[in-house]
């Protein structure tokens, strides 16, 4: 595992699973299913280990990845899932406690990537979140699964009992809405089990309107942070796929047609950076009535005030939409270089995506991860 593999975003984990399924190769996926105390990652964090012992992604800050590579080999050999517990609080002087950034008890589920993962991929391909319930222990075999679809409800596998379905199904919608994963204990007169409920959401989409040189750093920083990136250019003479090879999708359009070429849903974030006042204004007019919750507009506040004045003259009232318009764009981190500006922009989008106010973690009361 090299540093780049270790830092792979969630989107790369999902693409790795997709490649495994298409190639019929073998791989193991390791999930954090519960944490007691503090840890670098929370439940739902994933790491894929190939049959060649190549790891993609991370579940800790490097404390356990080597151990997981070894255990994954055993899972590949047997084909059976297993739970591994690491107590990083037990002895501060042993190899786990000395100098590592974690100070908690971490339970990790390891299982082979098999045909059951196609259900997850199919849901994400449709732009739909999915809840995956996996039995960890109790009266139901380890690894038994059920899948929650927002339209059809819980769809259990053959060995997933009704009494367990009835208990877990009401819990899943709120977890998906928050994008949270957790383990819970279920105990009824019919049986008991511990299950892991994993909320897996579609990859967030970033649409950049513009094709200037300053777009490239925004694409790079967005990709590192797990966004699927689309670029819309108003200049057909610019080969945007060559200019921005890290992006995923490329479109040519006029400012008055951009809302018709893409599905702008509430998992889409838009940055307008054409550096042309008229193009920006026409693009904004197209986007304000879409379901997107974030429209970033590059430029100073005075420019936006002028734009508002023109909208008002034309009889367009932006008041109902100003909460989702961010201009000047980005968090105030004081940077002025292209990549610092890009970091500021993507940081603000992440804050909106994760429903968290920007600020210093030292000022946050309680744990830095919601539990």
First to last CA, the chain: 30
pLDDT at residue 160 tops 70: yes
pLDDT one-digit tens code per residue, 286-315 = 999 899 999 999 989 999 999 998 988 888
- Which region among 24-33, 97-106, 135-144, 276-285 has the lowest average model confidence (pLDDT)? 97-106
State the Cα–Cα distance between residues 18 and 77, nearest whole angstrom: 21
Beta carbons of 101 and 77 less than 8 angstroms apart: no
CATH topology of domain 205-353: Rossmann fold (3.40.50)
- The pLDDT value recorded for residue 64 is 73
Higher pLDDT, 354 or 100: 354
- The pLDDT value recorded for residue 92 is 47
- The pLDDT value recorded for residue 62 is 63
| Full-model pTM | 0.83
Q: Domain residue spans in the chain?
A: 3-112, 129-200, 205-353
Query: Which DSSP string corresponds to 349-368?
Result: HHHHHTT---S-GGG-SS-S
pLDDT at residue 63 tops 80: no
Query: Which DSSP string corresponds to 119-164?
Result: HHHHHHHTT--EEEEEEEEESS-TT-EEEEETTTEEEE-TT--HHH
pLDDT at residue 205 tops 80: yes
- Which region among 42-46, 101-105, 142-146, 272-276 has the lowest average model confidence (pLDDT)? 101-105
pLDDT one-digit tens code per residue, 237-274 = 889 999 999 999 999 999 999 989 998 999 999 999 99
Are β-strands 325-326 and 103-112 bridged in parallel, bridged antiparallel, or unpaired? unpaired
- The pLDDT value recorded for residue 7 is 64
Q: What percentage of the chain exceeds 90 in pLDDT?
A: 62
pLDDT one-digit tens code per residue, 92-123 = 445 444 444 556 788 999 999 999 999 999 99
pLDDT at residue 279 tops 90: yes
């Amino acid at each position: 595992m090299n540093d780049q593999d270790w830092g792979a975003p969630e989107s790369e984990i999902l693409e790795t699973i997709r490649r495994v399924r298409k190639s019929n190769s073998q791989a193991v996926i390791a999930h954090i299913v519960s944490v007691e105390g503090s840890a670098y990652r929370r439940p739902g964090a994933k790491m894929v280990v190939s049959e060649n012992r190549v790891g993609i992604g991370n579940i800790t800050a490097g404390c356990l990845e080597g151990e997981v590579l070894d255990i994954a080999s055993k899972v590949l050999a047997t084909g059976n899932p297993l739970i591994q517990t690491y107590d990083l609080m037990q002895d501060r002087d042993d190899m786990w406690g000395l100098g590592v950034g974690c100070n908690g008890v971490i339970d990790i589920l390891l299982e082979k990537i098999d045909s059951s993962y196609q259900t997850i991929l199919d849901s994400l391909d449709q732009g739909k979140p999915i809840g995956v319930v996996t039995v960890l222990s109790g009266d139901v075999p380890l690894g038994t699964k059920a899948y929650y679809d927002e339209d059809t409800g819980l769809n259990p596998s053959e060995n997933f009992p009704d009494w367990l379905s009835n208990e877990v199904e009401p819990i899943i919608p709120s977890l998906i809405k928050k994008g949270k994963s957790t383990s819970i204990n279920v105990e009824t007169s019919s049986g008991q089990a511990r299950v892991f409920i994993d909320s897996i959401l579609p990859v967030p989409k970033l649409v950049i309107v513009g094709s200037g040189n300053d777009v490239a750093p925004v694409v790079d920083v967005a990709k590192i942070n797990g966004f699927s990136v689309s670029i819309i250019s108003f200049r057909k003479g610019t080969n945007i796929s060559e200019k921005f090879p890290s992006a995923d999708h490329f479109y040519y359009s006029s400012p008055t047609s951009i809302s018709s070429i893409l599905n702008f849903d509430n998992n889409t974030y838009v940055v307008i950076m054409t550096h042309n006042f008229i193009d920006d204004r026409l693009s904004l007019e197209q986007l304000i009535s879409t379901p997107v919750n974030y429209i970033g507009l590059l430029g100073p506040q005075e420019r936006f005030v002028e734009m508002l004045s023109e909208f008002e003259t034309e009889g367009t009232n932006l008041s109902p939409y100003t909460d989702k318009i961010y201009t000047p764009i980005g968090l105030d981190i004081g940077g002025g270089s292209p990549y610092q500006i890009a970091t500021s922009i993507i940081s603000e989008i992440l804050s909106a995506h994760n429903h968290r106010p920007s600020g210093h973690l030292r000022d946050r009361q309680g744990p830095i991860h919601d539990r």
